[in-house]
């Protein structure tokens, strides 16, 4: 006689969840450390007497939680995390860019940082950018995009928009903006940023974002939209950044 044991059989949880729970518990108990290989589909099929698709689903749960990572032909492995600390307020202090240092140098001490996929062009601003900059629809802006790769792992990409009428033909229109970066140049042009606003969201990446940041399954992105304001309240830059959430901890320090 065949007993067809559905999920109701002895517990009310689906099998794949119970398998995922067991693996998750083993990871958190330290039985599998960062980088270790987990039991694969075939192991789980044997151990738990389930079909391939069910074992697969269990491993899928852990990947979607960001706990594990599959490598084709090799196995499923426990993920390791070593996030960067991004000090939101200090890194933008006038002393940073005033002294000729890059804002980014504050985030990645003694790690190899490569800037990648640089693109600088003049274009017509779209709706949301116009709204954020407070300029009429169709205004010309300079759009600067680039990607940051740390120790071989892409961690962030960013596009910043500046109204064309204030950047003129300064180094902001070049790939290399020179010492102190965009903000130092804006200061020379008489539009030094005096105030910043950062908006933070988190969501799952689109397929394109996942590829550009080499994200594994179960990794959200953090989106930061920064507006820089000059004296008088005019918005002089919008910077739209997309970060690998596994690579970053954001920090904001402020007084009551």
Q: Which does 175 bind (CB under 5 to 8 A by kind): DNA, a copy of itself, none?
A: none
For residue 136, the minimal CB distance to DNA (Å) is: 44
Among 14, 18, 26, 64, binds a copy of itself (CB under 8 A): 64
Residue 167 contacts residue 173 (beta carbons within 8 Å)? yes
Minimum CB distance to a copy of itself smaller for 174 or for 252? 252
What string of DSSP letters covers 46-86? HHHT--HHHHHHHHHHHHHTTSEEEETTTEEEE----PEEE
Rounded Cα distance between 236 and 161, Å, is 8
CA-based nearest residue to 148, from 215, 243, 216, 238: 243
Among 53, 80, 118, 175, binds a copy of itself (CB under 8 A): 53
CA-based nearest residue to 182, from 116, 243, 226: 226
Minimum CB distance to a copy of itself smaller for 40 or for 88? 88
Q: Which does 193 bind (CB under 5 to 8 A by kind): a copy of itself, DNA, none?
A: a copy of itself
Minimum CB distance to DNA smaller for 1 or for 6? 6
Q: Which does 246 bind (CB under 5 to 8 A by kind): a copy of itself, DNA, none?
A: a copy of itself
Residue 230 contacts residue 194 (beta carbons within 8 Å)? yes
Mask 71-100, x = binds a copy of itself (CB under 8 A)?
Answer: ------------x----xx--xxx------
Positions in the binding site for DNA (CB under 7 A): 4, 6-8, 14-17, 38, 40-43, 49-54, 56-57, 59, 70-76
The number of beta carbons lying within 10 Å of the beta carbon of residue 64 is: 14
CA-based nearest residue to 164, from 141, 187, 185: 141
Binding of a copy of itself at residue 194 (CB under 8 A)? Answer: yes
Rounded Cα distance between 117 and 177, Å, is 15
Q: Which residues bind a copy of itself (CB under 8 A)?
A: 17, 21, 53, 64-66, 83, 88-89, 92-94, 183, 192-207, 217-222, 245-246, 248-256
């Amino acid at each position: 006689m065949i007993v067809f044991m559905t999920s109701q059989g002895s517990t009310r949880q689906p099998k794949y969840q119970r398998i995922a729970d067991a693996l998750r518990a083993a990871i958190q108990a330290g039985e599998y450390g960062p980088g270790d290989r987990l039991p694969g589909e075939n192991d789980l099929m044997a151990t738990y007497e389930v079909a391939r698709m069910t074992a697969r689903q269990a491993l899928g749960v852990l990947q979607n939680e960001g706990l594990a990572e599959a490598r084709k032909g090799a196995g499923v492995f426990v993920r390791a995390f070593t996030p960067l600390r991004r000090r939101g307020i200090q890194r933008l202090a006038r002393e940073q860019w005033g002294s000729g240092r890059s804002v980014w140098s504050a985030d990645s001490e003694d790690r190899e940082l490569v800037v990648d996929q640089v693109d600088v062009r003049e274009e017509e601003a779209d709706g949301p950018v116009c709204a954020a900059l407070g300029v009429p629809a169709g205004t010309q802006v300079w759009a600067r995009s680039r990607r940051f790769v740390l120790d071989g792992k892409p961690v962030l990409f960013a596009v910043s928009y500046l109204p064309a009428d204030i950047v003129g033909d300064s180094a902001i229109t070049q790939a290399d903006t020179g010492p102190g970066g965009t903000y130092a140049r804006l200061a020379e042009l008489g539009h030094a940023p005096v105030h910043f606003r950062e908006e933070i969201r988190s969501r799952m990446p689109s397929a394109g974002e996942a590829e550009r940041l080499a994200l594994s399954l179960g990794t959200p992105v953090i989106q930061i939209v920064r507006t820089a304001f000059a004296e008088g309240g005019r918005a002089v830059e919008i910077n739209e950044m997309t970060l690998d959430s596994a690579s970053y901890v954001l920090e904001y320090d402020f007084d009551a």
